[in-house]
Structure formats: structure tokens, C-alpha cells
């Protein structure tokens, strides 16, 4: 990882793919990833790690399947939310949205278990910034 500052607006401007995170830096054993999102992701679960979301622009909805049933949290710009490990969830962006994620290095974007991955979702552990 570079030891130089990273401009998030420049990093976000460097790619157009949706649901295809770029790794901007690392903190201990965690990747700090940014992604563009629009439309639906896929139901998935991370068995061993929480997943942190920060909405940089736009709006992100995260459907959650919890013991008490299904609910959806709505994250406007500037909001943060952590999906607890083991919670099945499905992000959805009703408008073009930019997000920052914090996950252990090597964490798959589609978790440990998931529904069939649609073509517009990149099943990856993150891509380096170009």
C-alpha cells in the first residue's frame, strides 16, 4: 500500500464499475474499500466478520434477515451502519451511490454464503486502485 494520501473523489472518479470495490488503504488487517453502487446486490452473509458501511454520496438500503424477521435500514449520505457477522443482508442503491467499506483483508464481496450472483455484481476480495 502506498504511504501517500488518497483523494477519495479522485479514486472514485478512476472507475465506473458498480458493486466492484477498490482498496484505497489498509488499517491493520482490514481493507478500506470504496465502491459505486446502483440497483441490487445479492443476499449474502459473512460468517466471521462484521461489515461496516459509510455512505459517501447517494443512499443505500440494506435489507436484513434477523431472528425477529426481515427489515430494511436506510442510509442517507453521511450515515454509517455495521451489519453484524452472521446476519444475512442485501444492499440496494435506489440512486447512484458511493460507499466506503471496512472489512478484513481477503473478505469476499458476496460473503461466505450467498444467492446466485448476478452479472452486475463483482464477486471479489477488492481491486487495487489503478
* Residue 2: pLDDT over 60: no
What integer best gives the mean pLDDT of the chain?
89
Q: Given phi > 0 = left and psi -120 to 50 = alpha, else beta, which region is 86?
A: left
Q: pLDDT band for 117, please (50, 70, 90 cuts).
A: low
Question: What is the per-residue pLDDT across 9-30, written as a single tens digit (0 to 9) for each?
Answer: 999 999 999 999 999 999 999 9
Which is nearest to 81 in space by CA: 97, 110, 101? 101
Percent of the chain with pLDDT over 70: 89
The pLDDT of residue 4: 87
Q: Return the SS3 of 16.
A: coil
Question: What is the per-residue pLDDT across 58-100, written as a single tens digit (0 to 9) for each?
Answer: 999 999 999 999 999 999 999 999 999 999 999 999 999 999 9
Half-sphere exposure of 45 (CA within 13 A, CB side): 10
Rounded mean pLDDT, 115-125: 69
Neighbours of 25 (CB within 10 A): 16
Q: What is the largest CA-CA distance in the chain?
A: 45
* Model confidence, pTM: 0.87
Q: pLDDT band for 106, please (50, 70, 90 cuts).
A: confident
Amino acid at each position: 500500500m502506498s504511504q501517500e494520501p488518497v483523494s477519495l473523489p479522485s479514486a472514485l472518479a478512476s472507475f465506473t464499475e458498480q458493486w466492484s470495490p477498490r482498496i484505497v488503504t489498509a488499517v491493520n488487517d482490514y481493507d478500506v474499500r470504496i465502491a459505486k453502487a446502483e440497483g441490487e446486490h445479492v443476499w449474502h452473509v459473512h460468517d466471521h466478520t462484521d461489515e461496516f458501511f459509510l455512505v459517501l454520496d447517494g443512499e443505500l438500503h440494506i435489507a436484513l434477515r434477523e431472528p425477529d424477521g426481515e427489515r430494511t435500514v436506510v442510509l442517507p449520505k453521511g450515515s454509517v451502519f455495521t451489519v453484524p457477522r452472521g446476519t444475512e443482508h442485501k444492499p440496494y442503491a435506489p440512486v447512484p451511490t458511493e460507499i466506503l467499506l471496512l472489512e478484513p483483508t481477503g473478505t469476499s464481496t458476496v460473503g461466505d454464503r450467498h444467492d446466485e450472483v448476478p452479472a452486475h455484481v463483482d464477486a471479489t476480495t477488492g481491486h487495487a486502485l489503478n
